[in-house]
Structures are given as structure tokens and as C-alpha cells.
Amino acid sequence: MKQVPVGVSARHIHLSQEHIAILFGKEYELTIMKDLSQPGQFAANETVSIEGPKNSFEKVRILGPARKESQLEISKTDSFYLGVQSPVRESGDIEGSPGIKIVGPAGEVQLDKGVIIAARHIHFHTSDAQKWGIKNKQFLKVRVNGERPLIFEDVIARISDNYALDMHIDTDEANAAGINTCDTAEIIDY
């Protein structure tokens, strides 16, 4: 049994150091509210507002640390609400994705790209992947046995010595399956 814990990602944003300075003030440093499953990653106490063409979200959580490029990760449901046409992408692959307006306590940023729907994926520590014979970027089939059982296909394997075993899905996917963070998924075929 290749069992993997599930982590459900609500909408969140990663910010560049430059954008943190504009939104929160020069030399501002994000503060840690909670460590996340992946080593070094954290949910910050700080939030921003996101203003789409149709609607806005307030208090969108920032995940730290700062990244090279700012990136807003939303569900497809969120994309209809905001009024943006976001592609399903791997984190960091933001070329051609729509931009959006970010509002912080010290200023505003108009992103020209970076709004994506995260492609579902599993983080494997290198040792987990070796044990199960899984290759980086491989597509996996994963069954979740929640209130509404289903099998996710095209779940991308991402392998690193810096990762902890965890499957990341968004709120649409979690709600379609009737599962929550801390539920368990099973890789059924690869």
C-alpha cells in the first residue's frame, strides 16, 4: 500500500521580496504563523487583498519564505469568482498566466502574470520515491476514499531531498472528493 497524507491548499499567495517591500514597507520581513508540511515553508501572519475584474478576496494568506516571482494560487471556483481565466499549472510555471491587483497595508502591486490553478501533485522525499519506484514528473493515479470516493489521474510526482511526503490538492478537488487535510490517499497504479 503506497499511502500518502493529503494536504488541501486553500487560495494563497507567494510574494517576491520586492513586492513584500511595496505591499508592507521597505525591509519588511514576513512573520511565521505556522510551519507547513514542506521543510522551511510557512504560513505567514500577513495577508493581502486580491482585486479581480469581477470580485475581490480579502485576507488571502501569504506563504513564505519570499520567492523569486510572486504567484497567486486559486481554485477554478475562485477564478470564476474573481473573473480571471487561470490555467492549471505546476508551481513556478507562470508564463502566459493572467495578472491581478494585490493590495497590502503599505501599497499596491499590479501583477502582469502569476495567477494559476495549481496542478495536483505529490511531494516525495527521494527515499520514498526510491522505495516505491517512482520517477520525478511521473503521472500517478491516486484514489481517495472520502465521502465521495474518486481516483485522481495525472497527479504529478515531485521528488527532492528537501520534500516531505504529502499530496497537495486544491479546495475544489478536496470538496469533490469530500476529504480534508490529514486524510490519506493511495497511489494505485504507476
Residues found near its own copies in the complex (CB under 8 A): 75-77, 88, 119-120, 147-154, 170-173, 175-178
Query: Which residue, 27 or 147, has its beta carbon nearer to its own copies?
Result: 147
Query: Which residue, 69 or 186, has its beta carbon nearer to its own copies?
Result: 186
Please state the closest distance from residue 100 (CB atom) to its own copies, in A.
18
Q: What is the 3 state secondary structure string of the chain?
A: CEEEEEEEECCEEECEHHHHHHHHCCCCCCCEEEECCCCCCEEEEEEEEEECCCCEEEEEEEEECCECCCEEECCHHHHHHHCCCCCEECCCCCCCCCCCEEECCCCEEECCCCEEEECCEEEEEHHHHHHHCCCCCCEEEEEECCCCCEEEEEEEEEEECCCCCEEEEEHHHHHHHCCCCCCEEEEEEC
Please state the closest distance from residue 75 (CB atom) to its own copies, in A.
7
Query: Which residue, 18 or 153, has its beta carbon nearer to its own copies?
Result: 153
Please state the closest distance from residue 170 (CB atom) to its own copies, in A.
8
Query: Which residue, 15 or 60, has its beta carbon nearer to its own copies?
Result: 60
Please state the closest distance from residue 107 (CB atom) to its own copies, in A.
29
Torsions phi, psi for 113 (to 5 deg): -165, 170
Please state the closest distance from residue 184 (CB atom) to its own copies, in A.
16
Query: Which residue, 24 or 57, has its beta carbon nearer to its own copies?
Result: 57
